[in-house]
Every structure is written in structure tokens, then in C-alpha cells.
Amino acid sequence: MNFDLIFIYIHILSALYWVGGDMLFFSFGYSIRKIYKDKSLIPGFRALGKTFRFGSWISVILLILTGTYLLIKRWGGINSIMLLKLIFFLILLILKILHDFLLAPRASKEEKPSFYYKSTMLVARLNLLIMFTIIYLSILFVR
């Protein structure tokens, strides 16, 4: 059995879960809070967010483990593209910590969207932009 392919598969699935979940929340978060203004939807959205947060941290751990293995075993080192990808991943990780443990919990307690809600949305948009950049760098790296 080829362990490299298993690790690549797990790495890609972990990235898909994290990026896809962030895209989902980015797409629907605005609608639920702004457009529908239905307060009964907010608790369900919060519960979904907590569930996704747990899963996304599992994805982050898997990305770190599989990425480290693949970098050492399969590709044998770091070039300039991989270095840039790792820097973006580190920034993304810092923003995820900020989002998950500081901004989003406080934003969920705001009655009307204000500082923490706007900050959470800004960080979420920045996260997606960085994620798309990392995906692009990954494609460049394996080509």
C-alpha cells in the first residue's frame, strides 16, 4: 500500500473540509444575520458554527501532520513556493485562533452587528483569500 497517496488524500480532504466550511459560513452568515433578521435562526447557526469549529481544528491538525510528512518524505524539502505557502498557513492559523477564540464568540453575543461582528467578517474574508492563495501555491508547487 502506498502511504504517500493516503497522506495526500487525507491532506486534500482536510483542506476541502476547512475551505468548504469557511465558504459556506461566509455565504450564509451574512444572509442569516442581515437579510432574514430572524432571531430564531441565530441559535442554530451558532450551534453549526461550534460543530464546524471542532471539525475544522481536526482538519488543521491533519493538515499539519500530513503536510509535514509529505514535505519531508515525498518532496524532500522546502523551496521558495513552499516557504511562501507555509508563511501564509502560519498567518492563517493565527487568524483562525483570533477568529475562533476571540472575535466570533464575542460577535455572537452582540445584539446588533458592531465591532466584533464586523471584525469577524473581515477576518473570515481574509481567511478565504489566504486559503485560495495557499491552494494556488499548492498547485504551483506540485507542477
pTM of the model: 0.87
Quote the CA–CA distance of 8 and 62 in Å, as a whole number: 11
The larger pLDDT score, comparing residue 38 to residue 9, is at 9
* Residue range 14-70, pLDDT digits in tens: 999 999 999 988 887 767 666 666 666 677 777 888 889 999 999 999 999 999 999
Of 89, 92, 64, nearest to 7 by C-alpha is 64
Residues 134 and 89 sit within 8 Å (Cβ to Cβ): yes
Residues 87 and 118 sit within 8 Å (Cβ to Cβ): no
- The pLDDT score that the predictor gives to residue 60 is 97
Of 136, 134, 143, nearest to 67 by C-alpha is 134
Would the pLDDT of 111 be above 70? Answer: yes
Of 52, 63, 54, nearest to 29 by C-alpha is 52
* Residue range 113-140, pLDDT digits in tens: 789 888 988 999 999 999 999 999 999 9
